[in-house]
Structures are given as C-alpha cells and as structure tokens.
Amino acid sequence: MKIILAQPRGFCAGVVRAVNTVERALQQFGTPVYVLHEIVHNQHVVDDLRTKGARFVENLKEVPPNAVTIFSAHGVSKEVENEARDRGLQVLDATCPLVTKVHNHGRQYAVRGYQVILVGEPDHPEVIGTLGQIPARVVVVQTKAQVATLGFTRNMPLAYITQTTLCVDDTRAVVEALKRRYPRIIGPDTRDICYAVQNRQTAVRELSQHVDVVLVIGSPQSANSVTLRDIAAQAGKPSYLIADGSAVRSEWFDDKSTIGITAGASTPEVMVDDVLNALKRIAPLEIENLPGREEHVHFRLPDGLIARQ
C-alpha cells in the first residue's frame, strides 16, 4: 500500500500556542488550571491535557474564585471576559491571534457605523465569541441562499467579516454573492481566512489528484477537518474523517493501492502515526510526503506566562 502524506497537515501555529499555553500554565501554576470549553477541537488533545491536570468547564461558574483560567483558541465574548474579571479569575487568553484579528475588524466596522455581516457557522464557538466581541447587532450568513434573504437596502453601509476556519472556496462564493447584491459592501479579502486553513485545503486538493482514497484525521467537531474531507469528496475521491487508527476499516482499501492522508489543524502528528500503524496491520506501507507549502509562523504565548529560560 502506497501512502502519500499531505504537506502541510496537522497542528497550526494557533493550536500550538493554545496547547502550549495550557501545558506552560500547569508547569508555572501547578494543578489544576481551568479551561473554558475544549482548548481545541480534538478529543485526544483534550484528554491528554486533562490527564496532566487541566479541568475543562463549559461555564465560568464552575471555576473557583481566583483560579487560573484559560480561554480556548476559538475566543470568547466580552461578557465572558467581564465575568472573569469581576470574579477575580487569573485569565490566560489563548484565543488564536487570527481570530482576534477578526474581532478587531468587526469592532472597527461597527464603530464606523457599518452593519456587520459575519460569514460563518452560527453555532460554532468562534462565531459565538465573535458575535459577543462586537458592540452592535451582527447578522450571520452561511450560504449564498441566505444572502438572497437579507433585507438591507443597497445603499446601507455594510461590512462583512468571516470565520477563520471555513472552506475558502465556499466563503469566497458567499462574499461574491454579498458584493453582487450590495456593491458598496466592504470587508477584508478572503485571504484573511486563516493561512493554515488555506494551506491545508490547497494541499488536500493536490493530494486528491494523486491517490485513490483520502483519510482526513481530525474531529467531527473540527470545522476545518470536516472541510478537508468535503474537498476530497468533491474531487471525486472516497474520503473518510477519522479520529485515530481505531476507526480505520480494511474494506475502504479494496482495489485501492494509493492512500492519501492529511490532518486537520487541531490534530497532533501522533494521531497520524497512529493511523499509519493501523494501516501497517493491513498491508506493508511505502510512505512519501507530497511537496507543499512550509509554514514558519509562531505566535507569542499570552501575557501572564513566564518565558522559558
């Protein structure tokens, strides 16, 4: 069985920063530290951090007074920030800097009097946090069809922002629909969608041209992992979203000799190794890496953590 690994794949800089924030906080402050929501959308990452002493909560009311509290990479609302401050919690904000950039864009548009439209998934934690960061009403749209239902006048001052983890092509289509209906609308270029998301989507498109079947390693709760699976399927290749090697099924590879593997931005490389080990139990492997974009982005850890000497 020939295996071709996509490049890049797996952890992005924002996820590395978030995971390192929890691990460094445990080293600096001891156990427990409290994390509001899953730090990233990957159960293996969450379980590993839980065994090290992190406690994951869904509400700040579950956090004792003055405790070390970490906000997840997806970001939180101003209401949550204010509640943490009022309760005297020691906050480490692991919100991805690219998500914070979207918050800043949205606030700037709102202050300038624009009606803000957010292209995104209404129930995604990043969208919920972004809505709570903008001091004005924000309308969420996810599809071109929803754009057609908007009731704004053509001359109304409108601006759009986007969720960082969406499919680039789908987002571009929604933005183009907005621009056709509202020619005066302003907003960032779709290149402002997370660089890591774009790179992984480009890589899986290329990967799909060289393989018979695609395995995407990631969580079904991970928007960018689901998108990678969808892109491979749209390319006409059987594609499966799996969390780890235990989900691999030998019948997927009947009469298929070349397997492509990629991983979502919140998936650690150890899960790729786990899938490869599962495939080795099916057939001997010949493994190669597909050439792709190299990433050299690094984000500084949140204020409140002591730099490692």
* Backbone φ and ψ of 185, nearest 5°: -65, 145
H/E stretch holding 24 reads helix 13-29
Report the candidate in 222, 252, 218, 251 with the shortest Cα–Cα distance to residue 237: 252
**Which one from 126, 251, 269, 294 is the annotated catalytic residue?**
126
SS (H, E, C) 242-296: ECCHHHCCHHHHCCCCEEEEEECCCCCHHHHHHHHHHHHCCCCCEEEECCCCCCC
C-beta of residue 192 within 8 angstroms of C-beta of residue 162: yes
**52 backbone dihedrals φ, ψ, rounded to 5°:** -85, -10
Provide the phi-psi class of 236: left if phi over 0, else alpha when psi is between -120 and 50, else beta.
Answer: left
For residue 91, the Cα-to-chain-centroid distance in whole angstroms is 22
| 126 has catalytic annotation | yes
Q: Which residues are catalytic?
A: 126
